[in-house]
Amino acid sequence: MLRLHRNFASRVIVQADTQATGNEPADEPIGYVYVLGTLTPRGTRTYVGWTFDPSRRLGQHNGGTGAKSTRGHQWSLLYIEKLATRVDAMSREWHLKRDHRFRSQLARNLQDA
């Protein structure tokens, strides 16, 4: 079943209905959204991202091959959330990047540890 939506520019967007029918592929990827933290001389920094493999991604960040803003620091995992799909993980990442209160609380927990 297809649903029609209107976006802000009044264009029609066609989107496949995502209700379960029993015919979904069994190998649907699971996405993760995560928050990393590090202590610097100027204070605590946090980084929000999404991935299919959290342990591999943390290794990339700590090895200097992750995102450019994470290079040169040792990061620890402060928060991780498992989501059903890549789209869900990317959407949650977008929201967490804007949730400064939540990230500040995680940073305080890192400082206290």
Spatial separation of the C-alpha atoms in residues 20 and 61, rounded to whole Å: 36
CATH number of 28-112: 3.40.1440
Q: Indicate the domain borders of the chain.
A: 28-112
pLDDT for 27: 58
Q: What is the pTM of this model?
A: 0.73
Amino acid at 84: A
pLDDT for 108: 92
Spatial separation of the C-alpha atoms in residues 89 and 33, rounded to whole Å: 6
The per-residue pLDDT for range 15-67, each reduced to its tens digit, is 333 444 445 454 556 899 999 999 999 999 999 999 999 999 999 999 998 88
Q: Are 31 and 52 in contact (CB under 8 A)?
A: yes
Spatial separation of the C-alpha atoms in residues 34 and 11, rounded to whole Å: 34
Of 3-7, 43-47, 67-71, 80-84, least confident by mean pLDDT is 3-7
pLDDT for 66: 87
